[in-house]
Amino acid sequence: MNLILFGPPGAGKGTQAALIVDKYKLVHLSTGDLLRHEMSSSTELGKEISEIINSGKLVSDHHVLKMIKIFIENNKKSNGFLFDGFPRNQDQANLLDKLLADLDLKITSVILLEVDKESLRERILSRSQKEGRADDNEETLIKRLEVYFSETEPVIAHYSNKGLVKSIDGVGEINDINQRINSILDLV
């Protein structure tokens, strides 16, 4: 099973991703986590991208795709992938199709976590106090939401045209949201 988890910043993708990969024994591929790891390890890439991430814009496809390719190659014997935070634009979606086709793999389902803007704002600002992420502030959040709605949300059509998208109400208790996701994935 290969899944994509879509949703705006603050929708709870990271939290739900951890529960999904545990239950369905998938490998979690979060481009945000991989990029933050590069930054905290102060690699060349990490230094180059920190300003971009902290401004809420997208890192170049070139950097992200290189990382993704290596990650998929290293984990191609796994049970499947959960893509979280990727693809973020149409070019990335096309490249993911190609990468998976080369490995004879396919996307099984796309989970879309739907959360209203006010709840997103509250969650991001509360996360900023707990986790201290430099991009979890009001100004960057506005940019991240703008980027999500202009570049990422249109990509959902790429998958709904293939009948793969399942929308989930992402507001409520973590376990209730997880049950909503499981009830759909158990039927896949």
Kindly list the residues in this chain that would bind ligand AMP in the complex (CB under 6 A). Answer: 9, 31-32, 35, 52-53, 56-59, 64, 85-86, 88, 92, 135, 144
| CA–CA dist 120, 170 (Å, integer) | 10
Out of 57, 127, 143, 166, the active site residue is 127
- Catalytic: 13? yes
Name the minimum Å distance from CB 96 to ligand AMP.
Answer: 10
Facing residues of 167 across strands? 112
Active-site residue identified among 98, 106, 121, 133: 133
- Choose the catalytic residue: 36, 123, 144, 180: 144
Contact 61, 95 (CB under 8 A): yes
User: In the complex with ligand AMP, which residue's Cβ is closer, 28 or 166?
Assistant: 28
Q: Which residue's CB comes closest to ligand AMP?
A: 32
Distances (CA, A) of 173 to 15, 21, 58, 100, 119: 11, 19, 30, 34, 13
How many C-beta atoms lie closer than 10 Å to residue 46's C-beta?
A: 16
CB of 164 to ligand AMP, least distance (A): 18
CA distances from residue 73 to 66, 81, 125 in whole angstroms, order as listed: 11, 12, 36
Whether 144 is catalytic: yes
Q: How far is CA 21 from the centre of its chain?
A: 13
Alpha helices, DSSP H, located in 25-89: 31-40, 44-55, 61-74
Cβ 65 to ligand AMP, closest distance in Å?
9
* Residue 26 vs 59, nearer CB to ligand AMP: 59
Residue 77 CB, nearest distance to ligand AMP (Å)? 23
Catalytic status, residue 127: yes
Instruction: Out of 36, 88, 123, 180, pick the active-site residue.
Output: 88
User: Which sequence positions are flagged as catalytic?
Assistant: 13, 88, 127, 133, 144
